[in-house]
Amino acid sequence: MKRVIFNQKGGVGKTSITCNLAAQFAKMGRKVLAIDLDPQANTSQYLLGDSYNNVEGTVADFFSELLSFKIFKGSLAAAIHKTAIPGLFVIPSSKDLAELQQKLENRYKIMKLAQALESLVSEEHFDDVFIDTPPSLNFFSMSALIAADSILIPFDCDAFSVKAIHQVMNIVDEVREDHNPHLKVEGIVINQFQSQAKLPQESINSLMQSGLSVLTPYLTHSVAMKESHEKSMPLVFMRSNHKLSQQYQELAGNLLGSRQKKKAGKRNQSLLKGPAEAGL
């Protein structure tokens, strides 16, 4: 399953959620790929630490080769790197993405990530892909929305964030209509939740009233998250007993559980139908 973590609002927790969910899924025994599409490269730094400084092979090489006149274009596989967490791999970003953007747009390369990722996932047998995006709707975030099966939308409980969520929903509608009809909104991930304050809960209620799916548990605010970024080690790995790590564990379990339940449901339906009718 390929998930994109997107909200065009900056600082809402896209990178923290991408890396900690990816790390948690890997801890649960899955083979996971994190892809960093943000030229700020925070996911790359968070998952690779200092070794990111000397890394060879980034997602920018893949995009850059799309613009070259070589017959055999580079594959995404060449940019996969191991992290310190068993089972977790990363395709790092590069600041070079920024200057490639206009050329990629001019030459209509918007479907290329989706195509490359489709082959990569089946060839390399990844169970899950998490794509981190920049805080804007640009070529790279659009490519990710087209490549993904589902979107997780971080919400930081700020007063302006409700408006941002509705903007994301409009973007999702447009992506579905134009490029990726199967893109599913898996839900809104509440981040930096503070239960003592009134406003966050009111904002969450207003999202639920407008029919949006809000995932549980909520991720609370903790300085430990900042520390884990400074140490380049996802919190769920650095301090697995921390309250915020446990919330991540539960959220990952819910994401996996609901999918497995749905799969089992489909299988049961198929069994009821009989193999031919179920298309087996």
Ligand X SMILES: Nc1ncnc2c1ncn2[C@@H]1O[C@H](COP(=O)(O)OP(=O)(O)OP(=O)(O)O)[C@@H](O)[C@H]1O
Distance separating alpha carbons of residues 97 and 59, to the nearest angstrom: 8
Q: Is 15 a binder of Mg ion (CB under 5 A)?
A: yes
Closest distance to ligand X from the beta carbon of 263 (Å): 30
Tokens linked to 136: 């804007």
Among 2, 3, 14, 27, binds ligand X (CB under 6 A): 14
- Picked from ligand X, Mg ion, none, the partner binding residue 164 (CB below 5 to 8 A depending on kind) is none
Can you give the length of the chain in residues? 280
Tell me which residues in 87-146 interact with ligand X (CB under 6 A).
135
Q: Is 141 a binder of Mg ion (CB under 5 A)?
A: no
Q: Is 217 a binder of ligand X (CB under 6 A)?
A: no
Radius of gyration of the chain (CA): 19
Strands 32-36 and 2-5, by their bridges, are unpaired
3-class secondary-structure state, position 105: helix
Closest distance to Mg ion from the beta carbon of 15 (Å): 3
Residue, CB closest to Mg ion = 15
Distance separating alpha carbons of residues 80 and 61, to the nearest angstrom: 12
- In the chain, which ranges are continuous DSSP H helix? 14-27, 42-48, 59-66, 97-106, 112-124, 139-147, 161-178, 198-209, 223-230, 235-238, 243-273
Distance separating alpha carbons of residues 21 and 219, to the nearest angstrom: 12
Q: Give whichever of 179 and 229 is closer to Mg ion, judged by the CB atom.
A: 229
Which of 222, 215, 227 is closest to 243 using CA atoms? 222
Strands 88-91 and 32-36, by their bridges, are parallel
Which of 234, 141, 217 is closest to 179 using CA atoms? 141
CA angle in degrees (0–180, nearest 5) for 103-14-65? 25
Site string for ligand X, 30-69 (x = CB under 6 A): --------x-x-x---------------------------
- Picked from Mg ion, ligand X, none, the partner binding residue 24 (CB below 5 to 8 A depending on kind) is none
Tell me which residues in 227-256 interact with ligand X (CB under 6 A).
229, 244
Q: Is 14 a binder of Mg ion (CB under 5 A)?
A: yes
Site string for Mg ion, 40-69 (x = CB under 5 A): --x---------------------------
Site string for ligand X, 156-195 (x = CB under 6 A): -----------------------------------xx---
- Provide the 10 A C-beta neighbour count for residue 106: 9
Closest distance to Mg ion from the beta carbon of 182 (Å): 25
Q: Is 10 a binder of ligand X (CB under 6 A)?
A: yes
Q: Is 73 a binder of ligand X (CB under 6 A)?
A: no
Which range in 13-21, 60-68, 102-110, 112-120 contacts ligand X by CB under 6 A?
Answer: 13-21
Q: Give whichever of 133 and 180 is closer to ligand X, judged by the CB atom.
A: 133
Which residues of the chain form contacts with ligand X (CB under 6 A)?
A: 10-16, 38, 40, 42, 135, 191-192, 219, 221-222, 225-226, 229, 244
